[in-house]
Amino acid sequence: MNSTTQKGTASHAGLIAKKIPDSLGRNITHWVKPGQDIHSPREKKIQQAKQERNRIQHNVKKDPKVEAQIKEMTDRHLQFEKEAREQRRSYGSSPKFPKPGMIMRVYATGKVNVGGMLARVKEIAADGKTIICEFTSGKFYSLPIDHLEFAKSEISHPII
C-alpha cells in the first residue's frame, strides 16, 4: 500500500493518506491517523478468508486408507477399460442384451447421476429388466437395463 504523510493542510493535519483498492480495483484514498487500521472487522475477516483460500497447501497428506482406496479404484477402472477394449474386438458394434461379465457404461438419470461410468455386469435379475453391476468403486448396484449402454470407447480423462 502506498502511504504518504500530508503536511500543512488544515483538514488533514497529522494524517496519512492510504490508497486502498475497492471492489472494482480502483484506488481510493483514505486519510487515517498514523498506526490506525482502516479496515472494519468484517473487511479483515474477508481478507483473512481470501488469504487462507489462496494459500497453497504443499504438504497435505492423505490418510493411507484413502490413498489405498483411490489406488484400488484407479486400478479397477483401468482394468475395466482394458476389458472394454477386448470386449469391443470380440463383440463388434454392440450386443442386443448384456451378459454377465460384460463391461457397460451407465447413464442413469433420475435414480443416480453417473454419466458414463464403467460397470461390470454381475448378474441379470429374474425379471430380465434389472441388472446387478459392479462399479469401479467396488460397490454393487441394481440398475434398469435401459440405464446401461455397451462400452464402446474409453473416456480420455477418467473421473474417479
**With bands split at pLDDT 50, 70 and 90, how would you rate the model's confidence at 156?**
very low
Whether 87 is covered by a domain: the verdict is: yes
Domain assignment present for 29: no
Which tens digits make up the pLDDT trace of 74-125? 999 999 888 888 887 777 666 667 788 888 877 766 655 566 788 888 998 8
Number of domains the chain is built from: 1
Per-residue pLDDT of 112-154, as tens digits, reads 556 678 888 899 888 888 888 898 888 898 888 877 776 655 5
Quick check: 124 and 100 in contact, CB under 8 A? yes
**Span 5-33, average pLDDT:** 78
CATH number for the domain spanning 79: value is 2.30.30.30
Higher-pLDDT residue of 91 and 8 is 91
Residue in 99, 146, 103, 27 with CA at minimum distance from that of residue 17: 27
What does the angle CA 131 – CA 138 – CA 158 come to, to the nearest 5 degrees?
95
The DSSP result for 22-85, as a single string, is: -TTS-EEEEEE-TT---S-HHHHHHHHHHHHHHS--S--PPPHHHHHHHHHHHHHHHHHHHHHH
> Is residue 6 included in any domain, yes or no?
no
State which residues form the domain around 86. 64-150
Query: How many whole angstroms separate alpha carbon 129 and alpha carbon 146?
Result: 8
- 124 falls within a domain: yes
For 30-52, how does the pLDDT look when each residue is reduced to its tens digit (9 = 90+)?
A: 888 888 777 778 888 998 999 98
Q: Which helix (H) or strand (E) holds 86?
A: helix 64-91
When pLDDT is cut at 50, 70 and 90, the band that residue 4 belongs to is low
Cell numbers standing for residue 98: 448384456
